[in-house]
Amino acid sequence: MTLDLPDCNLTLINFNQLLIEDFQIGIINHLHTFKLLDKPLTNLDVKKIMYHNLIHGICESYRNSSCSRLVYIFNDTQLDECLLQDHYVEKDLLSFFNSFFIKFEKMLPIPIVKSRFNTYSLNYMIGNNDARAVLAINGYTSKLTEIKSKEYTFQKIKRFSKKYDLTFLSNEYFNSIKTKQILI
């Protein structure tokens, strides 16, 4: 679910839902193709496939969005029912995503915030004038400002993409992300 907050000029995207609706099928298909569904998340080839699908999916979602100020929210306390849980334990998936987002945050200027709230609960809290919603939104806005003020050279993501054979991450691809970030 996408949550538009026109008063803050902010759009929140539920990463957990994006994972379920857009990313997980590609991940599972790739893992199945290379016969890696029985391998743990710590396996290098599994990581490559996960990184490829997650980075590509998030970057494409970001690049193709018409929203000017976009923040992805990752509920790091639980995953909704998803097909990935048929192959991996939820705790391991959450741990993988948490470590992935720590790396991602250092490499790309796309704001992803870990939160115990998702867009559904935030929308509910906003409707009830809950102060927790205001605090959370202020945190998301400050995260966006923090990312905007950083200089991204994309050197870290270039090294990362070389290490994990993420061939779709080219200079042209980075330039399109940088252009979107400048326009915000």
Mean pLDDT of 104-125: 92
Residue 170: its H or E element: none
Q: Is the model's pLDDT at 184 over the cut of 70?
A: no
Average pLDDT over all residues of the chain:
90
Helix (H, G, I), strand (E, B) or coil at 128: coil
Q: Which residues, in sequence order, are CB contacts of 122 under 8 Å at separation 6+?
A: 3, 12, 73, 133, 136, 137
pLDDT given for residue 89 in this prediction: 96
- On whether the CB atoms of residues 66 and 72 are closer than 8 A, the answer is no
Q: Is the model's pLDDT at 149 over the cut of 70?
A: no
Which of 42-46, 58-62, 93-97, 165-169 has the weakest average pLDDT? Answer: 165-169
Q: Of 3, 122, 16, whose CA–CA distance to 78 is shortest?
A: 16
Which of 50-64, 118-132, 136-150, 170-184 has the weakest average pLDDT? Answer: 170-184
Mean pLDDT of 132-149: 89
User: pLDDT-based confidence at 3, cuts 50/70/90?
Assistant: very high
Q: Of 59, 66, 42, 96, whose CA–CA distance to 184 is shortest?
A: 66
| Residue whose entry in the numeric block shows the structure tokens 């957990």 | 16
User: pLDDT-based confidence at 183, cuts 50/70/90?
Assistant: low
In degrees to the nearest 10, what's the CA dihedral of 143, 67, 17, 42?
-50
Q: Is the model's pLDDT at 123 over the cut of 80?
A: yes
Provide the residue type at 12 as one letter.
L
Compute the distance between CA of residue 38 and CA of residue 17 in angstroms, rounded to an integer. Answer: 24
pLDDT tens-digit profile of 5-25? 998 889 999 999 999 999 999
Angle (nearest 5°) at CA 139 between 137 and 16 = 70
pLDDT given for residue 156 in this prediction: 86
pLDDT given for residue 182 in this prediction: 66
Any alpha helices (H) in 65-170, and if so which ranges? Answer: 90-107, 119-127, 131-149, 155-163
Q: Of 29, 8, 17, 22, whose CA–CA distance to 54 is shortest?
A: 22
Q: Of 157, 71, 165, whose CA–CA distance to 122 is shortest?
A: 71
User: Residue 50 has which token pair?
Assistant: 């996960």
pLDDT tens-digit profile of 75-107? 999 998 999 999 999 999 999 999 999 999 988
| Residue whose entry in the numeric block shows the structure tokens 């330039």 | 175
- Domain positions in the chain are 2-183
The number of beta carbons lying within 10 Å of the beta carbon of residue 153 is: 9
